Amino acid sequence: MWRKALVGLVLLLPGCAYFGDFLGDSLTYDTNPNLPAGNAENMRRVRGQDSPTDALRPEPGNVWPTGVQTAPTLQELERDTNSQAAPPPLPNLLPSTPGRRGAPPAMPSASAPSPASPTIATPQGPAAPATGGPGYQQIAPSPGQPGGIVIPNGNGTSTLIRPDGTVVTVPSPK
C-alpha cells in the first residue's frame, strides 16, 4: 500500500507538466530553455562554476575625507553681518523729469504739506505726501515719521510700506 502511494506522489510532482519535462528541467540544468543567459561573475557562481576574484587590497594613503567644518552659529552670523559696511542705499523712487539729467528734484518737506494733497493718518501721526500720484504717494521722512510709500487698496484703506520693510494698513486720505 505504501509503495503505491509513494509512486502516486512521485507521479503527481510534475503537476500540469509532462513527467518528461519535469525530469528534464529538474535533473538536467543545461537543457533548460528558460535558463537566463549570461557569463557574468554572478551567473558563474549560480551555476556552481569557479569565479576567480582578486582579494581586496588596502589603498595607499588616507582615503577618508577630512573632517566636516563646523557650521557657524547664529551669534557668529549676526556679528559678521553687523561688522560689515552699511547696507547699500535704497533706490530712488522719485519720478524723474523727462529730458532732465543729473540729480533728482529735491523732496519737499513733510512739515509743510501742499494744500492739494491731504494728510495720511499713520501710527506715528498725520503725514503729508511729498510726491506721487493716483497710484502711489511717497511720504518724506521727518523727525517723528520714518517716511515710506503709500499705495491705495481701493477699499478705503491704503498700504504703507516703510523703509525698514514693515507694512501697515492705514485709512486712505479723503
pLDDT of the chain, 174 residues: tens digit per residue:
888 888 887 777 666 666 666 666 666 656 667 777 888 888 888 888 888 888 888 888 887 777 777 888 888 888 887 776 566 666 666 655 555 555 555 544 444 444 455 778 787 778 877 777 778 888 888 787 788 888 888 888 889 898 888 898 988 876
The closest alpha carbon to 131, from 158, 150, 157, 152, belongs to 150
- pTM score over 0.75: no
What the block records as the C-alpha cell of 8 is 502516486
Partners of residue 129 on adjacent β-strands: 139
What's the grid cell of residue 20?
Answer: 518528461
